[in-house]
């Protein structure tokens, strides 16, 4: 006698939500890739100047120099997330594991992003600007960083909760 496994609404709704977000993400990624390739000659001169700017963050040259690669990588990861989401909907276990891996990587990327943001803000000449009669931008940068921390915590919490649900015995039993 074969046991029938009930498909949870959680997995179905989660898969559809990420399918929709991934399709929208693919549209954005395609537009970004088209834009960066069309504007690349103008961007390359600006990137060369930014890399040699005194006081620029240490990773600015890497980020600016790898713009094409970054946008291509973003499109690739979005396509992979779309595939994992479709596999999740079909209850494929490899897709479930890939989906969980993407969520873990997204949490890690948010933490890395906070570190990069802190380094970037530490290289901003906000104090010198304020001394020259301009606005003191430090409160704004603190608020932006605080919002980034809050957003990273919320994303980590939600993704952690999803990971916990996807690794539960009841959900795992749905996958083949």
pLDDT in tens, the chain (176 residues): 556 667 899 999 999 999 999 999 999 999 999 988 887 767 666 666 666 666 666 666 666 667 788 889 999 999 999 999 999 999 999 999 999 999 999 999 999 988 888 887 776 665 565 566 667 777 888 898 899 999 999 999 999 999 999 999 999 999 98
Distance separating alpha carbons of residues 71 and 35, to the nearest angstrom: 10
Distance separating alpha carbons of residues 163 and 10, to the nearest angstrom: 12
Number of Cβ within a 10 Å radius of residue 81: 21
3: in domain: no
143: in domain: yes
Instruction: Dump the DSSP string for 77-142.
Output: HHHHHHHHHHHHHTT-HHHHHHHHHHHHHHHHHHHHHHHHHHHHHHTS-HHHHHHTTS---HHHHH
Distance separating alpha carbons of residues 22 and 94, to the nearest angstrom: 18
Distance separating alpha carbons of residues 163 and 46, to the nearest angstrom: 41
73: in domain: yes
The tokens of 11 are what? 């997995």
14: in domain: yes
136: in domain: yes
φ, ψ at 55 (rounded to 5°):
85, 5
15: in domain: yes
Number of Cβ within a 10 Å radius of residue 60: 17
Which structural domain range is residue 53 located in?
Answer: 9-172
Distance separating alpha carbons of residues 107 and 70, to the nearest angstrom: 18
The whole-number pLDDT of residue 136 equals: 72
4: in domain: no
Work out how many domains the chain is built from and give that number: 1
The tokens of 71 are what? 């946008």
- What does the DSSP 8-state code read for residue 54? T
67: in domain: yes
């Amino acid at each position: 006698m074969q046991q029938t496994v009930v498909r949870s609404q959680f997995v179905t709704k989660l898969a559809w939500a990420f399918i929709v977000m991934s399709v929208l993400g693919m549209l954005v990624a395609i537009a970004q890739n088209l834009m960066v390739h069309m504007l690349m000659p103008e961007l390359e001169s600006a990137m060369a100047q930014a890399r040699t700017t005194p006081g620029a963050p240490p990773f600015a040259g890497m980020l600016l120099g790898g713009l094409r690669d970054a946008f291509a990588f973003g499109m690739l990861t979005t396509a992979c997330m779309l595939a994992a989401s479709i596999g999740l909907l079909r209850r494929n276990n490899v897709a479930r594991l890939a989906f969980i891996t993407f969520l873990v990587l997204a949490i890690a990327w948010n933490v890395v992003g906070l570190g990069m943001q802190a380094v970037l803000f530490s290289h901003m000449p906000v104090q010198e600007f304020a001394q020259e009669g301009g606005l003191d931008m430090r409160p704004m940068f603190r608020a932006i960083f605080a919002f980034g921390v809050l957003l990273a915590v919320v994303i980590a919490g939600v993704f952690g909760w999803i990971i916990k649900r996807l690794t539960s015995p009841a959900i795992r039993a749905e996958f083949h």
